[in-house]
Structure 1
Amino acid sequence: MSKLSRATIIVDGVVQGVGFRYFVLRNANALGLKGYTKNLFTGEVLTEVEGEEGMIHELIKKLKVGPSHAYVKDCKVEWKEFKNEFKDFEVRY
């Protein structure tokens, strides 16, 4: 049985206006993760994600690279307790 976990991921750099949230959405769905992603007024992108810990690690690897027009300067991850709060993955505004 794989461990279920939750992570708050904040990505900084050129990550708004480059399709970053939809990149997160596609990858999270492909990995079977649930949660949401949204732009922050600071220019960062916040992702709150739940699922298998190994799949969250895979998502983090992808977010550190980002879509082709993004430039990722920093990726902060805070691990939390799994809450089973989300039914799917969505982009929030």
Structure 2
Amino acid sequence: MDSGQSTQEPGNSIRVTAAVNGMVQGVGFRYWVMRRALNLGLTGTVINRADGSVLITAEGLPSAVDGLLEQVRSPSAPGAVHDVEEHRSAATGEFEGFAAG
């Protein structure tokens, strides 16, 4: 039943790149995103950008990606999320885990 393998099989996984705008730097947002992404079994990164936004790149099952984005848009997210611009594409499998940079 459980092969010990990740659910990140290329045929099942997608990638989302999401620019999160608002008051999302200096409020613990990146580490909050990282914890949620890891709990959902996602791989990827979350980084601050020079324009004050945060960039999330996440790969995994569509339901897990949707769950992360739902949490990012929720009132429980640290700071104040004003807008999330997302782009979906095929997963590349390049990430080993999920890191906050």
TM-score, normalised by the number of residues in structure 2: 0.85
Residue aligned with 1:75, SS: strand
Aligned to 2:95: 86
What is the alpha-carbon root mean square deviation over aligned residues?
Answer: 1.4
Residue aligned with 1:22, SS: helix
Larger proportion of strand: 1
Paired residues, what number?
90
Identity rate, percent: 36
Q: Give 1:22's aligned amino acid.
A: Y
- Equivalent residue in structure 1 for 2:35, among 16, 19, 26: 26
Aligned to 1:41: 50
Aligned to 2:6: none
Aligned to 2:15: 6
Distance in 2, Cα, partners of 1:90 & 1:25: 6
Residue aligned with 1:54, SS: helix
Task: Give CA deviations for 1:34-91 in whole Å, capped at 9, x if unaligned.
Answer: 0000000000000001000110000000111222xx1110011100111111010001
Distance in 2, Cα, partners of 1:40 & 1:82: 22
Distance in 2, Cα, partners of 1:57 & 1:3: 14
Matching of residue 53 in structure 1 with residue 66 in structure 2: no
Matching of residue 73 in structure 1 with residue 74 in structure 2: no
Q: Highest Rg: 1 or 2?
A: 2
> What are the ranges of 5 or more consecutive residues in structure 2 without an aligned counterpart?
1-8
